[in-house]
Amino acid sequence: MNLPFFIARRYMLRQKGRFSAFIIRLAIVATSLSVAAMIIALALIVGFKKQISQNIYNYWGHIHVNIYSASYSSLISPEPLVRDATIEQQIKALPGVKAITPYAISPAILNANQLMESIQLKGVDSSYDFRTINATPINFADTSYAKEVVLSESTLDRMKLNMGDELLLYFFDANSTYPRIRKVTVAGTYHVGMEDIDKFYALCDIRLLQNINKWSADEVNGYQVMLAEPEEATPVSDKIFKDILPADSRLTSNTMFELFPGIFDWLSLLDTNAVVILVIMGIVAIINLIAALLILIVNQARMVGMLKALGMAEGDMRKIFLYHASLIGFVGIIAGNILAIGLCIIQQETGFLKLSEAGYSMQFVPVHIIWWHPFAVSICTMLLCILCMWVPTLYIRRVQPAKVLQFK
């Protein structure tokens, strides 16, 4: 029988109505709140990073293949490439590739209801998955090109348009004095949640832009590649560039990390915030348990003196309080896990905590729990607390039975 553990367990369960009971409850609550704060902080940071990244992936895909140009952004290059069925099939056959879609980009001016606004038109074909951006698909049945556009909900509101309304598109060319004008109908809306996309981009039939730019049916700005796992973007992009794209061509392959370095570098900085929060909450939990243990030892000095007088080894007495504090920490950690995971599940299901989409690029507070995060937080917190709790048990050496067992 483990006598120190038996005494610690009995001592913890029989503290009702006493000062020690208050200290135990306070320590459990403080530990559970610290652990819950760590788990929720990780879930929030992971959820925020995942949501922002997913917003970009939904609209732009994970990888772009286009012609390299030192004068223009790799995202929007005015120089077309000729579609190659062999390259498309080889990319589509790569492990992890879900789809490859051609696209074209062209600036235009929207004109409707005596309002004008500049926008970037993204031309796509029937292979584009409109569901990723919650959009109404374009009807590609027209033999020439679909005279339809899909605008973001925010653009629709700013231009005072409704579904089915007509508007004019103005396309400007440096070699022409007058703009080329096309009349189109609002076929649907989309919603990404990022102002940089919703405000400045619209979707149309790729054949419309080919017609405006006087390109052939095989000329596009590039390919948009969708992957099953975003983490595979870099190795897949490298494989496309090294093994599939012709070495003597100007074709290049870029991930969204390379096309939007500012956004993804900013997201990576959130990991620093996570470390700071974990360290602070970990220190709070450790200090809380150390203080609680020290108070319990001082409060039970008579018991320590009695055990010393009965001949119990100092190491066993230290184990009593270590087991006691460990039980407090264990209960607090379990309670913290239940609290954190419960709140995260409620937020995922109901979205009761809302955000300003204009400021945060999302409507609800995003949470995403990676299964091993609660385990890692719990185990690390418990181990650190056990290691640090040896310090207050040194006070047992100072307890003298002759003083604490005096008759009162």
pLDDT digit string, tens, across residues 116-147: 999 999 999 999 999 888 888 899 988 889 99
Residue 237 has pLDDT above 90, yes or no: yes
Residue 286 has pLDDT above 80, yes or no: yes
Average per-residue pLDDT in the chain? 86
Rounded to the nearest 10 degrees, the angle between the axes of helix 261-299 and helix 301-309 is 60
119/123 Cα distance (integer angstroms): 13
Residue 77 structure tokens: 């290059």
Over the Cα atoms of the chain, what is R_g?
Answer: 32
- 240 alpha carbon, distance to own chain's centre: 27
Q: In which band, very low, low, confident or very high, does the pLDDT at 75 lie, cut at 50, 70 and 90?
A: low
Residue 229 has pLDDT above 70, yes or no: yes
> Region 382-394: what's the mean pLDDT?
81
pLDDT at 406: 65
104/66 Cα distance (integer angstroms): 10
3-state SS, residue 160: coil
pLDDT at 320: 78
β-bridge mates for residue 97, sequence order: 227
Instruction: Please provide the DSSP assignment of 256-286 as one string.
Output: HHHHSHHHHHHHHHHHHHHHHHHHHHHHHHH
Residue 62 has pLDDT above 90, yes or no: yes
pLDDT at 336: 95
Residue 338 has pLDDT above 70, yes or no: yes
pLDDT at 204: 95
Q: In which band, very low, low, confident or very high, does the pLDDT at 305 lie, cut at 50, 70 and 90?
A: confident
217/144 Cα distance (integer angstroms): 11
pLDDT at 167: 94
pLDDT at 391: 75
Higher per-residue confidence, 65 vs 74: 65
Residue 351 has pLDDT above 90, yes or no: no
pLDDT at 225: 96
pLDDT at 319: 80
Q: In which band, very low, low, confident or very high, does the pLDDT at 82 lie, cut at 50, 70 and 90?
A: very high
> Region 354-373: what's the mean pLDDT?
85
Residue 290 has pLDDT above 90, yes or no: no
pLDDT at 11: 66
Through-space distance between the first and last CA atoms of the chain, rounded to whole angstroms = 34
- Indicate the helix (H) or strand (E) that contains 24: helix 19-60
149/147 Cα distance (integer angstroms): 7
173/171 Cα distance (integer angstroms): 7
Instruction: Please provide the DSSP assignment of 102-147 as one string.
Output: EEEEEEEEEEETTEEEEEEEEEE-TTS-GGGGT-PPP-TT-SS---
For residues 309 and 12, the answer to whether their CB atoms sit within 8 Å is: no
pLDDT at 59: 92
Q: In which band, very low, low, confident or very high, does the pLDDT at 403 lie, cut at 50, 70 and 90?
A: low
Q: Quick one: 144 exposed, middle or buried, by C-beta within 10 A (0-12, 13-18, 19+)?
A: exposed
> Region 333-342: what's the mean pLDDT?
96
Q: In which band, very low, low, confident or very high, does the pLDDT at 15 lie, cut at 50, 70 and 90?
A: low
Q: In which band, very low, low, confident or very high, does the pLDDT at 158 lie, cut at 50, 70 and 90?
A: very high
156/158 Cα distance (integer angstroms): 6
Residue 212 has pLDDT above 80, yes or no: yes
pLDDT digit string, tens, across residues 160-169: 999 999 999 9
pLDDT at 1: 57
Q: In which band, very low, low, confident or very high, does the pLDDT at 248 lie, cut at 50, 70 and 90?
A: confident
> Region 43-58: what's the mean pLDDT?
92
Residue 182 structure tokens: 């096309």
53/321 Cα distance (integer angstroms): 48
Alpha carbon distances (Å) from 159 to 32, 155, 172, 179, 182: 51, 6, 20, 20, 17
Comparing 198-207, 281-290, 367-376, the range with the smallest average pLDDT is: 281-290
